[in-house]
Amino acid sequence: MLESLRTGLQGAIKKLLGTSVVDEAAIKEFVRDLQRALIQADVNVKLVLSVTENVQKRALEEKPLGGMTRKDQIVKILYEELDKMLGGEQGLNLAKGKTNVIVMLGVQGSGKTTTVSKLARFYSKKGFKVGVVAADTFRPGAVTQLRTLAEKIGIDVYSDEKQNDSIKVAEQGKKAFEGTKNLIIIDTAGRHKEEKSLLDEMNSIVSKVKPDVNLLVVDGTIGQQCYNQALAFHKNSPVGGIVITKLDGAAKGGGALAAVAATGAKIAFIGTGERVDDLEEFSSTRFVGRLLGMGDLKSLLEMAKQLESEVDEKRVQRMTSGKLTMDDFLFQFEQVNKMGSLKKILDLVPGLAGNMKTEDLEKAERSMKTWKSIIQSMGKKERESPDTLNAARIKRIAKGSGRSEKEVRELLSRYKQTKTLMKASKGREFRQMLRRAGGQGALGG
Ligand SMILES: Nc1nc2c(ncn2[C@@H]2O[C@H](COP(=O)(O)OP(=O)(O)OP(=O)(O)O)[C@@H](O)[C@H]2O)c(=O)[nH]1
Ligand SMILES: [Mg+2]
In whole numbers, what is the pLDDT of the chain averaged over residues?
82
For residue 176, the model assigns a pLDDT of 96
Residue bearing the bigger pLDDT, 119 or 294: 119
AA letter at 119 = L
Of 226, 240, 220, 433, whose CA–CA distance to 339 is shortest? 433
**pTM of the predicted model as reported, rounded to 2 decimal places:** 0.67
Q: Which pLDDT score, from 0 to 100, does residue 320 have?
A: 67
pLDDT digits (tens, 9 = 90+) for 57-113: 999 998 876 556 788 778 888 988 998 898 877 778 888 889 999 999 999 999 999
Q: How do residues 127-175 score in pLDDT, each as one tens digit?
A: 999 999 999 988 889 999 999 999 999 999 999 989 989 999 999 999 9
445 CA → ligand 2 middle, Å? 48
- Considering the chain, what percentage of its residues have pLDDT values greater than 70? 78
Determine phi and psi for 242, rounding to 5 degrees: -125, 140
Q: What is the mean pLDDT of residues 402-410?
A: 92
Q: Does residue 325 line the site of ligand 1, with CB under 6 A?
A: no
pLDDT in tens, 277-306: 999 999 888 788 878 776 544 544 444 445
Query: Binning pLDDT at 50, 70 and 90, where does residue 115 land?
Result: very high
Q: How much distance in Å is there from the Cα of 6 to the middle of ligand 1?
A: 24
CA angle in degrees (0–180, nearest 5) for 191-223-258: 115
Mean pLDDT of 219-238: 88
pLDDT of the residue at 199: 82
Residue 210's region, left for phi above 0, alpha for psi from -120 to 50, else beta, is: left
Dump pLDDT digits (tens) for 167-221.
Answer: 999 999 999 999 999 999 999 988 666 777 778 888 888 999 999 999 999 999 9
**For residue 300, what pLDDT is reported?**
41
Confidence of residue 351 (pLDDT cuts 50, 70, 90): very low
137 lines ligand 1 (CB under 6 A): no
Mean per-residue pLDDT for 241-269? 89
pLDDT attached to residue 124: 94
Ligand 1 neighbour 255 (Cβ under 6 A): no
Distance of CA 416 to the CA centre of its chain: 32
Which residues lie near ion ligand 2 (Cβ < 5 Å)? Answer: 112-113
Cα 219 to averaged position of ligand 1 atoms, centre (Å): 8
- Please choose from 133, 274, 357 the residue to mutate so as to test ligand 1's pocket, defined by most ligand atoms within 8 A of CB: 274
Atom of ligand 1 nearest to the CA of 272: 31
Q: Which residue, by CA, sits nearest to atom 21 of ligand 1?
A: 109
Going from the Cα of 29 to the center of ligand 1, the distance in angstroms, rounded, reads 40
Q: Is the CB of 136 under 6 A from ligand 1?
A: yes
Cβ 108 under 6 angstroms from ligand 1: yes
What are the distances in angstroms from CA 3 to CA 8, 347, 382?
Answer: 9, 16, 47
pLDDT at 114 over 90: yes
Is 248's C-beta closer than 6 angstroms to any atom of ligand 1?
A: yes
Say whether pLDDT at 311 is over 90.
no
Q: Which long-range contacts (CB under 8 A, 24 or more apart) does 385-390 make?
A: 385/325, 386/325, 386/326, 386/412, 386/415, 387/416
Provide the pLDDT for residue 288.
85
CA distance 50 to 334: 46
The span from the CA of 358 to the CA of 368, in Å, is: 15
Q: Which of 108, 114, 245 maximizes ligand 1 atoms within 8 Å of its Cβ, making it the mutation to test the pocket?
A: 114
Dihedrals φ, ψ of 194, to 5°?
Answer: -145, 165
